[in-house]
Each structure stands twice: as structure tokens, then as C-alpha cells.
Amino acid sequence: MERIGLIAGNRKFPLLFAEAARKKGSRVVAVAIKKDTNPRLNAAVDKIYWLGLGEFSRMIEIFKTEGITKVVMAGQISPARLFSPEVQRSEELREFLGSLSDKRADSIFAAVARRLEESGIELLDSTLFMEEHLPKKGVLTKRPPDFKEWEDVYFGFELAKAIGMLDIGQTVAVKNKAVVAVEALEGTDNLIRRAGRIARGGFTLVKVSKPKQDMRFDVPVVGLNTVKRLLSSGGRCLAIESGKTLFIDKAASIKLADKSRIAVVAV
């Protein structure tokens, strides 16, 4: 039976990956991040180690001791933790971040991948075993976008690709071809809240992969939380990039979207 390592961030993605990997016959050894990873992961993997944010070198030691040569990174670490006191307290983390040219997501994750590779550990595509969670092109809800929403979908798609190229974020909110909000470190949920306050409802949310997306990390993810936030903020349409966006809890999300008359489309 193949053993695979999991670097587990927040939300449900790590849980789904662990379940899918075990169904495929793999044994999963996870490194979970305190204050970010869901405690439910304990029951979803074969072995788990809980580490603080600054224990990067210990993570590599764990994988080497466990004989793990292939690892998947699933789920994010809250970006705001870059500015937390724990970063200042960890000499190792300060040195690691200080060695980077900038603190964009790709810069950080690519450096993590290099450190792993230098230790003989290969970082795999994070969508491994997750094919069923990558929607293909098409309208996913009963209600398709109306004409104005389709205009905003394609207008927003190009904008989201542009900010993705700069590694600023992967999501934009637009209304009547006006840019309402652009995602940065605050994340998609906070972007939706902000868009709701500015646009007073009726906006379209567009989430895409980066033009040079490294599928090993920072893959775009939407789910039930996304639809709930859209509903509470007055959003009317959600567009994602087909084949490159993970849709978590898709059935429940689409059911809520249908009930709320929110259009969801993969383009």
C-alpha cells in the first residue's frame, strides 16, 4: 500500500483529499497546522502530527522518518498569520520569509516546494484523486446567468486572470461591468462581504486559476461557504474556471443556489 504525505491547511479540502486517497488504497500521513487545520482530520488519516506554524524543518524530518517521498499540499494557511506575533517569535520562520524576494502566495509556496525537493520529497498536484470535484464547462444550476450577468462573467474572467498573473488574488466581484472588489490577502469570504456592502447586492463573483497556475498549490476552491456568503451579501451569480477550480460540497452548494436563485456556472 502506497504511503503519501499530506500538508494540511484549513477548511474541508484536506479532509476530502485524505478520504479520496484512502479510497484509492493509499495510507495518509498528515502534518497538520495548529490553529488552522480542522481537528476532524485526526479521524480521516492513518497518522497525524500537529505542528506550529514555525516548525517547518520538523515537518521535513517527520516525512523523512516516516519514509514519505511524495507529498500533497491541501488547504490554505490563513494569510493574515504572516503578520502574527508567532512569526516574530520563530527565528526559523523569520529567516525563511526573509529569504524570499516577496511574500506573494506563489513565492512562499514555491520556496516550500524547493525545500521539500532538496530533501528528496516530491510535491504532487494537489488535485490528485480529486477529479470529481473539478466541474466541467457548463451551467451548474437550474437558473442560467441572464444577459447582464453573462457580460459580467466574461468581463470579470479577464480581470481575475490579470490579477492572477500578478499573484494578487484569484477572485473579483463585478456589477454592470464595474469592478466592485478585488481579492488580496483577506480571502474570498471577506471579499464577498465587502462586495455586498459596496454594490448593495446584485453582483457577480468570478474565481479563476492563475494564468501560470502551479497545480501543486494555491488551487482555487469554492464550496457551500461561498454560496452562503453570496446569499447573505446579495450576490446573484458565481462563475468559476472549469476543470481548474475545486468545488467542495457541490451537491449541497447547488441545492442552496437553486433555492436562492443564484446562478452558478463553470466557464
Q: Which domains does the chain have, with CATH numbers?
A: 3-123 (3.40.50.20), 134-266 (3.40.140.80)
Q: How confident is the model at residue 187 (pLDDT cuts 50, 70, 90)?
A: confident
Paired with 30 in beta bridges are 6, 48
Cβ-contact 243, 125 below 8 angstroms: no
pLDDT above 70 as % of the chain: 96
Gap between the Cα atoms of 43 and 5, Å rounded: 15
Q: What is the dihedral of CA 212, 5, 136, 161, to 10 degrees?
A: -20
> What pLDDT is recorded for position 87?
67
pLDDT at 82: 66
CA distances from 80 to 118, 186, 207, 241 (A): 28, 7, 20, 26
Q: What is the pLDDT of residues 5-59, one digit of tens each?
A: 999 988 899 999 999 999 989 999 999 988 889 999 999 999 999 998 777 778 8
Segment 76-105 shows an average pLDDT of 73
**Could you tell me which residues are beta bridge partners of residue 267?**
none
Q: What is the pLDDT of residues 229-240, one digit of tens each?
A: 999 999 999 999
In the predicted structure, residue 81 carries a pLDDT above the cut 70: no
For 221, other C-beta atoms within 10 Å of its C-beta total 23
Sign of the four-CA dihedral 125, 107, 14, 8: positive
Helix (H) or strand (E) holding 50: strand 47-51
- Which grid coordinates belong to 115? 525545500
Dihedral, CA of residue 79, residue 220, residue 19 and residue 126, to nearest 10: -90
Binned at pLDDT 50, 70 and 90, residue 80 comes out as low
User: Quick count: other Cβ atoms within 10 Å of Cβ 194?
Assistant: 17
DSSP E strands, 117-177: 122-123, 138-139, 171-175
All three cell numbers of 20, joined, read 479520496
Answer for the pair 73, 7: CB distance below 8 angstroms, yes or no: yes
The C-alpha cell that represents 190 in the structure block? 471577506
